[in-house]
Chains A and B, each alone.
Chain A
Amino acid sequence: MAGQVAIGSRSGLRSALPLLLPAYLWLTVAIFLPLSAMVFFSFMTELPLSGKAWAFTLDNYTAFFSQGLYLTLLLASLRLGLEVTLWCIVIGYPAAYVLAKVLKGRSREAIFLLVILPFWSNGLVRIFSWAMVLREGGILDTALNAVLPFKINIDLMYSYPAVIIGLVHSYVPYMVLTCYLTLQAIDDSLIEAGRSLGASRLQMLKRVIIPLSMPGLVAGAALIFVPVVGSFMEPRILGGRTGTFYGTVIEDQFVAVFNWPLGAALSFILLAVVLAILALAAPVLRRAA
């Protein structure tokens, strides 16, 4: 019996091979090879391409631990990732709920489009349009002063809040999409059943809807947290001098200082930290879900 099952699954794998092959080839070429090259670089003193003499070293990794600045920046980036993820939940989850459970037909499609739109626009355009809105004498400042009877100065440009606003705007569609998918899969009759048993809307949310949409929340959080921790574009453009984060330092190594080995080493440390956080969070989240 067990042998039969094994044979069955083995022949299943063999027939699936032609289907899997393109994906594996692509993964090998596009991710595995460059990534291995980066691992290789991260243990070198110089980039071999530059023509200078090079040797193997661990200095790039020890640099992280010997200079407190990197750790401070990494913690700042993790905090940024956490804050942006939380704001995306606060903004994205209710939007997903309304899309999935309140709106129907035409209006749902229209609102959906509005939510997805930032997804389709160019990242730089998105960020620079925020710069126009947030700076002193910008759109937000002018509009508020036109409405309010007293004079206020709004200059959010080059500040931590500006970075948060820009990142949340870029990443909130992920949260809306993943939560929308899990919320839509919740049968309306479950909500009706709960209400007929005497539960208020809030109790339904706490006991049934949020637990059932936990997979979407977790997927959305992971999709947002990881890239935000390594982000550099939004911090650089919207944060100005306050926008120095772990990601911008890595970017500097690659495009300004041309110290690829250090940049690569810092990237892998980030990857290890993020993976460790996800691994630690996994059992907790699984229990919650």
Chain B
Amino acid sequence: MAGVQVSNVSRSFGAHKALDDVSIDFADGGFYALLGPSGSGKTTLLRQIAGFDFPDSGRIAIGGESVERVPVEKRRIGMVFQNYALFPNMSVADNVAFGLSVRGEAKAVIAAEVQRALDLVQLGKLGGRRPHQLSGGQRQRVALARAIVTKPRVLLLDEPLGALDKALRVDMQIELKRIQREIGITTIFVTHDQEEALTMSDRIGILRDGRLVQEGPPEEIYDSPKSEFAATFLGDANILRGDSTGNGIRLADGTTIAAGAGVSLAAGTKASCAVRPERIRIATDAGSTVQANGNVLRGQVSKRIFAGNNSTYFVERDGQTLKVIVQNTGIERLAEGQDVMLSWSPESTVLIAAS
């Protein structure tokens, strides 16, 4: 087992920079999610680490040693592809056995290891089947068993759950996490799905246009995003724009918004504040309780979406639509068109330099 250090890696395809000076330290035994929109370079980064492709500049080390001149088959990595890439000409057991058998292990050793790996992914009885006789979730587990049976130092997963439906996806997430904990392998997991990234990983890296936008534990990125992009890409956020007051912003209409978190900015520069929709309280305008030194904005409900345990209100204010999510704990409901007052604490407000 080993950590992975990516230092200042760049990779261009023609004039297009798929990776632009990316540095990430993947800790030994950690579960790391790479998140980003389509085309942001997630797969490209994974391919550099695997050794299918090579960086134009920068350095990659696995377990402390540089892998610049180490070909794929010597890197001792396990990879699970988005389309699973199972060998269609082999049975499930032969697929899983492949990595051990090309290494020339003894037949008895292979049989035992394969059975153990199949049991681990709970497919112990399906060894004799062909890949095309399996469901999507079963194929994904075979791909995982095949990748871990060789005891790789690093496990690379490129959107392995992308093709599964929601229920199966959640099952697989739990199982993947269980297996990862059980064998304690450094895991780098590429996903489109922010919820998946939040629930599964120890750390998250957000990529955009080949650059690493922000990196850290899920809570840290969610609670203190460093850019509007990070704030809106991981979870929902209301972005208010104005001029910095040092520890908050002044909106165009003169209202000030106080921020308790984020960067400190010189007064007068352009800046934004991000607030999560579930942190905002909403009440009818007349006679409501306002928190001392809280942020307050008035507006009008333009739309309400009922989703069972919660409701989302869209509130018009000064030409901007703000989103508020309220748990449906009582029966009080606000009608569309109603004037409302929004309030939230400065601690829930993050100051961000304008992008």
Q: Which residues of A are interface residues toward B (Cβ below 8 A)? A: 187, 189-190, 192-200, 203, 207-208, 211-212
Cα A149 to Cα B253 in complex, Å, equals 94
Which residues in chain B, 87-103, are within 8 Å of chain A measured between CB atoms? 87-89, 98-99, 102-103
Q: B319 CB to closest chain A CB, in angstroms?
A: 48
Additional 18 contacts, C-beta under 8 A, given A198-B73, A199-B102, A200-B102: A187-B83, A189-B81, A190-B85, A192-B85, A193-B146, A194-B98, A195-B73, A196-B75, A196-B79, A197-B102, A197-B146, A197-B147, A197-B150, A198-B76, A198-B99, A198-B150, A207-B87, A207-B98
For residue B72, CB closer than 8 A to chain A, the reply is yes
Q: List 5 A-B contacts (CB under 8 A).
A: A193-B81, A193-B87, A194-B102, A196-B50, A212-B88
B79 contacts which chain A residues (CB < 8 A)? 192-193, 196
Which chain B positions have C-beta within 8 A of A212? Answer: 87-89
Decide: B77 and A196 in contact? CB cutoff 8 A: yes
Q: Is B248 an interface residue (CB 8 A)?
A: no
CB of A192 within 8 A of CB of B146, answer no
Taking a contact as CB atoms closer than 8 A, the residue among B77, B78, B89, B150 that contacts A211 in the complex is B89
Alpha-carbon distance between A199 and B88 when the two chains are bound, in angstroms: 17
Per the bound structure, the CA–CA distance linking A123 and B100 in Å amounts to: 51
CA distance A197 to B79 in the complex (A): 8
- Top 6 nearest A-B pairs (CB, nearest first) are A197-B99, A193-B85, A189-B85, A199-B102, A195-B72, A196-B79
Asked if A196 contacts B72 (CB within 8 A), the reply is: yes
B78 touches A196 (CB 8 A): yes
Quick check: is B52 within 8 A (CB to CB) of the other chain? yes
Report the bound CA distance from A86 to B193 in whole Å: 52
In the complex formed, the residue of B with least CB distance to A214 is B89
Q: How many angstroms between the C-alpha atoms of A192 and B86 in the bound complex? A: 11
CA of A187 to CA of B131 in the docked complex: distance in angstroms? 15
Tell me the complex Cα distance, A31–B88, Å.
Answer: 38
Contact of B85 (CB < 8 Å), options: A187, A199, A200:
A187
In the assembled complex, the CB of A186 is this many whole angstroms from the nearest CB of chain B, namely: 9
Closest B residue by C-beta to A197: B99
Among A187, A193, A211, A212, which residue has the most Cβ atoms of chain B within 10 A? A193
Which residue on B lies nearest to A189, using beta carbons?
Answer: B85
- Chain B residues with CB below 8 A from A195, complex form: 52, 71-73
Query: Which B residues lie within 8 Å of A196 (CB)?
Result: 50, 52, 72-73, 75, 77-79, 147
A203-B102 in contact given A193-B79, A196-B73, A197-B146 (Cβ < 8 Å):
yes
CA distance A203 to B101 in the complex (A): 10
State whether A190 touches B87 (Cβ < 8 A).
yes
- A193 / chain B contacts, CB cutoff of 8 Å: 79, 81, 85-87, 146
A189 / chain B contacts, CB cutoff of 8 Å: 81, 83, 85
Let me know if A200 and B73 touch, CB within 8 A: yes
Q: Which residues of A contact B72 (CB under 8 A)?
A: 192, 195-196
Find chain B residues with CB under 8 A from A194 CB: 87, 98, 102
CB distance from B205 to the nearest CB of A (A): 21
Q: Report B-chain residues with C-beta under 8 Å of the C-beta of A203.
A: 102
Give the Cβ gap from A134 to chain B, nearest Cβ, in Å. 41
**CB-based nearest A residue for B156:** A196
Q: Distance in Å from the Cβ of B71 to the closest Cβ of chain A?
A: 8
Q: How many angstroms from the CA of A84 to the CA of B247 in the assembled complex?
A: 83
List residues of chain A with CB within 8 A of the CB of B50.
Answer: 192, 196
- From B74, B76, B98, name the one whose CB has the most chain A CB atoms within 10 angstroms: B98
Chain A residues with CB under 8 A of B71: 195
The residues of A that contact B52 with a CB separation of less than 8 Å are 192, 195-196
Which of A196, A203, A212 has the largest number of chain B CB atoms within 10 A?
A196
**With known contacts A199-B73, A212-B89, A192–B81 Cβ distance under 8 A:** yes
A91 vs chain B, min Cβ distance (A):
25
Q: Is the CB of A198 within 8 A of B85?
A: no
A204–B107 CA distance with the chains assembled, in angstroms: 19
Q: How far is the CA of A207 from the CA of B98 in the complex (A)?
A: 9
In the complex, which residue of chain B has the Cβ closest to the Cβ of A190?
A: B85
Alpha-carbon distance between A187 and B84 when the two chains are bound, in angstroms? 11
